[in-house]
Structure 1
Amino acid sequence: QERSTGDRVAKRSVNTLRAAVERAIAHLKDWKIFATRYRGPLTHFALLAKTVTALAFYKKGR
């Protein structure tokens, strides 16, 4: 059965919001390494943070 125009518009707005929330959750999961205890040498932590940041910006720009 065909949906009415109002139903389609409402569904599209809900799906747009849902997709944005799912993307935000995915980004938080990308940064999970900072939420857990870092187990590597502290001398490497700054390089790791810079690398993760660079990769996040690279991924965003693609």
Structure 2
Amino acid sequence: MNFSGKHKRAGFNHQVICTVDGKLLAITDQLPGARHDAYCFKKHGLEKYLDKTTLADKGYVGLGLLTPVKHKPGVKMSKAVKENNRVINKLRVVVERVIAHIKTWRVLHMGFRRPLSSYQRVFSVVRGLVFLAAGGTFE
């Protein structure tokens, strides 16, 4: 189910892959918004395209990607771990900027207010336009 009774809107989870210089490579089809990022990563089979040098956020810990270390309650993080997290997060800023650029399309950042059965068609058009604007192709 994609509808959140709490927020009164539909939510979807898309995975975005881009290079560290900001070139958009892929936007996956939607999965229900209540699904965890790690589940969506596995469900789309992205592990065959990415490896241990791929930067990811803390939602992907344990998947063999380069992620920041999570802070454990009651345990002080060393300066080296903090610095490592800082370096990873500085590199990931580009990814977050690409995601923010995609969300400039109102249909992707606001609640989807049309019949949910039409979301896939609308998203496919927007994804094509995003790639066209980024200088990519529809392939």
Bin of the TM-score, shorter chain as denominator length: 0.3 to 0.5
Write 1 or 2 for the structure with the bigger share of strand. 2
Determine which structure has more spread, i.e. the larger CA radius of gyration: 1
Report the TM-score, using the length of structure 1 for normalisation.
Answer: 0.48
Report the TM-score, using the length of structure 2 for normalisation.
Answer: 0.24
Q: Structure with the greater relative contact order (CA < 8 A, sep ≥ 6): 1 or 2?
A: 2
